[in-house]
């Protein structure tokens, strides 16, 4: 058995929700995993499929449930929602997913008494903002995966270009989980050296055009996976598991998650991603870098983009 008891609920047993549950199980991050879905048979099937492998994983309580199971959870993970279809705009997707998210939030809050809510469903930044408002919970208790996946893609493409172990690459994408996201090149490091100094010392040319190519691949990474296989779920599942682990084990891990901001860089009343300290209290601190003027301007513009999008939604 796991030492201590930790319980998580995953709302939505589709590709993403099931992959998160499997990641949590194989890493033994929680002692109890509850899958909640409008299609209860699907939730039961995914739980049973994982349970059939428990002899190779270790004892856990994995089962389907209803919203009453949100009580006493360390983390409630919201993945339920429709995927963006070809030709649909972000506004189209948001218009469809907002009523779903509101209904889910209302059902969660009937039983909520503990823990954090982690928003994975898209558009993640907008839903994080709205769910925090609907729930009435502190901003620290409701956060989205935001640019955690974009940051992971950024590190992958940079590691690939420099032919270096990805664990020695440290860099963040901040702002919107979308087109206005901001790469923080000024804080990107390879083994503790700035990327420019590392490249110079190792004789590796890295031009502005190559940097732009890495940023473009990062921004379009999700669309490329969807083009090739129809959906993205493995990478985000691993990232969500890692975030859950930071919460249940009180790790003080730094992740680029989206929370409703009130002050950093002069930004207020919008949810976007900044490097944040994650522990049992949720978002327990936000790290502010000495951004270049260009990076800070881009971040402010990203906040304006999200705020304008939310205002547009209220007018639909």
Give the active site residues: 177
- Tokens representing 119 are 């928003």
Report how far apart the first and last C-alpha atoms of the chain are (Å, whole number).
Answer: 50
Listed residue (115, 119, 83) closest to 102, CA to CA: 119
Helix (H, G, I), strand (E, B) or coil at 1: coil
Q: Are strands 75-78 and 61-64 parallel, antiparallel or unpaired?
A: unpaired
Token code pair at residue 297: 């301007």
Residue whose pair of structure tokens reads 């879905």 in the numeric block: 37
Compute CA 286 distance to the chain's CA centroid, rounded to the nearest angstrom: 16
- Chain centre to alpha carbon of residue 260: 14
32/220 Cα distance (integer angstroms): 35
| DSSP-derived secondary structure for 224-255 | HHHHHHS---HHHHHHHHHHHHHHHTT--EEE
């Amino acid at each position: 058995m796991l030492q201590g008891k930790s319980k998580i609920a995953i709302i939505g047993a589709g590709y993403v929700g099931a992959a998160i549950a499997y990641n949590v199980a194989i890493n033994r991050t929680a002692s109890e995993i509850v899958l909640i879905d409008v299609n209860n048979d699907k939730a039961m099937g995914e739980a049973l499929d994982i349970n059939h492998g428990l002899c190779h994983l270790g004892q856990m309580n994995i089962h389907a449930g209803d919203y009453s199971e949100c009580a006493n959870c360390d983390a409630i993970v919201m993945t339920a929602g429709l995927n963006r279809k070809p030709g649909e705009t972000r506004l189209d997707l948001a218009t469809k997913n907002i009523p779903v998210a509101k209904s889910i939030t209302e059902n969660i809050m009937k039983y909520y008494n503990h823990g954090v809510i982690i928003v994975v469903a898209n558009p993640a930044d907008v839903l994080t903002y709205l769910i925090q408002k609907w729930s009435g919970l502190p901003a620290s208790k409701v956060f989205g995966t935001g640019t955690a996946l974009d940051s992971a893609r950024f590190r992958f493409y940079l590691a690939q270009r420099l032919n270096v172990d990805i664990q020695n690459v440290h860099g963040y994408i901040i702002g919107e989980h979308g087109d206005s996201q901001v790469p923080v090149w000024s804080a990107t490091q390879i083994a503790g050296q700035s990327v420019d100094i590392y490249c110079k010392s190792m004789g590796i040319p890295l031009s502005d055009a190559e940097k732009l190519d890495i940023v473009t691949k990062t921004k379009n990474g999700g669309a490329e996976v969807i083009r090739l296989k129809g959906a993205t779920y493995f990478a985000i599942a691993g990232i969500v598991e890692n975030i859950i682990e930071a919460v249940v084990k009180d790790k003080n891990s730094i992740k680029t998650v989206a929370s409703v901001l009130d002050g950093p860089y002069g930004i207020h009343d919008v949810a976007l991603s900044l490097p944040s300290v994650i522990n049992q209290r949720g978002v327990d601190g936000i790290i502010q870098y000495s951004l270049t003027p260009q990076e800070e301007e881009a971040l402010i513009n990203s906040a304006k983009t999200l705020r304008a999008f939310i205002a547009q939604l209220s007018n639909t």
